[in-house]
Amino acid sequence: MESIIVILPLLVKMGIVVAVLLLLPLPLTWLERKIAAHIQQRPGPMRVGWHGLLQPLADAIKLLTKEDHIPMDADRLLFKMAPVVALVPPFVVFVAIPFGEPVQIFGSSYTLALSDMNVGLLFILAVSGIGVFGVILAGWASNSKYAVLGSLRSIAQMISYEIPMGFSVIGVVMLAGSMNLSDIVHAQDGLWNIVYQPIGFFVFFVAGLAEAQRIPFDLPEAEGDLGAGYHTEYSGIRFSLFMLAEYVVMVVLALLNALLFFGGWLGAPPFLPPALWLLLKTGFFIWVFMWFRFTFPRYRYDQLMSIGWKVLLPLSLLNILISGIFMF
């Protein structure tokens, strides 16, 4: 009985996180369309529901009922596995992300995280890098030159941007003296890390755009030269899993920007719960990611690689050096 009482809160938190993540594409696709429309001075979705609010639901029904096509010469097992392999790591990352201070419910204290890991930041960076295997499998299993080129681009892009992304947070870890995300947030009590780590934030934000494969760094999905890239041969529900993974990665990066550099849930106005304050910061970064998509052109592939190796990597190393000098 005692074991059930201990496990039940964890199961409830897991259920809430999974349910919210699975439903994320509904509001985010609508929001992205509206942002694109307003930037381009048009109304966007308007016909299905008030201001097109039911359009994502119509799209979901279409994807769930659409024919699931598998190419004749594809590796059927790997083809089916790839969307799941791409989707699982972004979900697993939420195990280590806290959303606020512990709360008291009926005299018992509950943390607003599935697991308050001492190495939470390292866990997130390690697990998020596994998602590229889903992209590799999708390209290889499709038996299509366009899909293979998209997956190869994704591998090179991940190698180029994972390294500066990892280096960019070392200054934050040095300031907090911990890789626990709650400790990193508490270390910003009084002054956010963006003040101490502007270079680290810039590198992390730009590398995050590449990690999420968002414009101007969406070369693995370049429609103009790859016909959609690694998921060219996917349709229906399997295609929607890739899109869900992309949106979840974007939310993870928005959360990390808020937690690592902008104080997390600290500094909330008196009328806002701290967790809601964190979600508002996260929403702002999601809006910025979407704004970038419809503002900047896509880089050429050689430019993409040059930015990663010749700009972001030296900047991240310089940030570590400066942080160490000032802390010494």
Do residues 114 and 94 lie in contact, with contact meaning Cβ atoms separated by under 8 Å?
yes
First to last CA, the chain: 52
Per DSSP, what are the bridge partners of residue 105? 108
Helix or strand or coil: residue 99? coil
CA distance 246 to 29: 11
Q: Please give the structure tokens belonging to residue 214.
A: 């968002």
Ranges assigned E (strand) in 61-207: 103-105, 108-110
pLDDT means over runs of 10, the chain (328 residues)? 64 83 87 89 86 87 83 84 88 88 73 82 88 84 82 81 90 90 89 91 91 76 62 81 87 93 87 89 92 84 85 92 84
The pLDDT value recorded for residue 71 is 82
C-alpha closest to that of 211 among 314, 319, 310, 89: 89
CA distance 233 to 149: 13
Ranges assigned E (strand) in 111-248: none
Q: What is the pTM of this model?
A: 0.89
The pLDDT value recorded for residue 255 is 93
10 Å Cβ neighbour count for 215? Answer: 19
Half-sphere exposure of 235 (CA within 13 A, CB side): 9
Do residues 90 and 248 lie in contact, with contact meaning Cβ atoms separated by under 8 Å?
yes
The pLDDT value recorded for residue 220 is 63
The pLDDT value recorded for residue 158 is 81
Q: Are strands 103-105 and 108-110 parallel, antiparallel or unpaired?
A: antiparallel
State the amino acid at position 208 in one-letter form: G
Angle at 24 between CA 49 and CA 34, to 5 degrees: 45
Q: How many residues does the chain have?
A: 328
The pLDDT value recorded for residue 280 is 93
Alpha helices per DSSP H over 102-144? 120-128, 132-142
The pLDDT value recorded for residue 257 is 94
Where residue 96 falls (left for φ over 0; alpha for ψ -120 to 50; beta otherwise) is alpha
Angstrom distances, CA of residue 76 to CA of 73, 80, 82, 84, 282: 8, 6, 10, 14, 38
Where residue 273 falls (left for φ over 0; alpha for ψ -120 to 50; beta otherwise) is beta
